[in-house]
A and B are shown apart, each in its own frame.
Chain A
Amino acid sequence: MDVHLDVDLDATIRDVGPRVLRYAVARTGDLSAGEDVAQESLEALVRHWRQAGPPESAEAFVFSIARRRAVRAVIRRRLWVPIEQAFGRRDGMPNPETQAVARAEHRRVRAALARLPRHEREALLLVALGEVGTSEAAVVLGLSVSAVKMRVHRARKRLAADLEDGHDH
């Protein structure tokens, strides 16, 4: 095993990890689901790196996987959450996500984010929360760079206007 490769991998994971976690939590709306998504995406990168070397863009690789897994996690969550609520299931540990959601500002931002058109929201989450470069975001979303820029720009404008209005449903 190449020591330099492992050092690079470690640095990459430590750089991308928090960003993909933040993105995944925002996409799934749940900390534990977001953690699972982020971990699976990072594990996929680790395996790929160790078996076939680093991908062309580690960011694009991880976020592409995270994006797909987040969709599945959201679907799973929609199916399971009502059942868990019906049976009153609660995790033993306090959920930091729940605590965060309880904050009024967080709730307001989430509500404003939810009102964005889906394709704009997706682009904004990648760029703003994932801190993914526009060209990598274009790879992840399968769009041109200019299309990504346009979506992000519109999403920011819409979100800023929404937050300034104090619109909260």
Chain B
Amino acid sequence: MTTEPNAHVDETLREAYAVDEAAADRVIGRALAARPRHVGRTRLRASLALAAVGLSAGLVAWLSRPAIVPPAVVMAPPAATQLSGSFVDGVLIVPIPGDGVVIAGPGRREDRPPDGSGIVFVEGDVR
């Protein structure tokens, strides 16, 4: 193998690390009996396929999500009386024109003369 003058060093090393023949036979026998790792590769492929399916499903779900429709704006009829008011401490105060105001609530209905101003509680968005 080697032609160098110090080749005897190799021999010394080989003698120092001489391997047991039985050990060598054992290693060779086991290596030759090794089975191909199909299972590992199949698992890898299955995992990749599953990941691809999951990713596709997620993409489809995201693309087909319902569009956000802005709430319909209810416009006042053209003949409606325009009121204007102002917020005072979070309460919208709207002067009511006309002869009277109808106060309607759960179980009662009452007409009152206008006092020149009134309090209107508004539910929903204020535009």
Residues of A that sit less than 8 Å from B by CB: 9-10, 13-14, 17-18, 21-22, 25-26, 31, 35, 38-39, 42-43, 45-47, 50-51, 96, 100, 105-106, 109-110, 113, 124-125, 127-129, 131, 133, 152-153, 156-157, 159-160, 163
Contacts and interface: CB of A to CB of B under 8 A. Distances in A.
Given A18-B19, A25-B17, A106-B16, A42 B28 contact: yes
Given A13-B31, A46-B31, A96 B20 contact: yes
B28 A159 contact: no
A129 B13 contact: yes
A128 B36 contact: no
Contacts of B59: none
Given A35-B23, A50-B36, A17 B13 contact: no
B37 interface: yes
Interface residues of B, number: 29
A46 B32 contact: yes
B31 A45 contact: yes
A56 to B, nearest CB: 20
B24 A43 contact: no
A25 B19 contact: yes
Given A128-B14, A159-B12, 18 more contacts: A10-B32, A13-B28, A18-B19, A18-B28, A21-B19, A22-B14, A26-B17, A39-B31, A42-B34, A46-B34, A47-B36, A106-B17, A109-B13, A127-B2, A129-B14, A156-B6, A159-B6, A163-B12
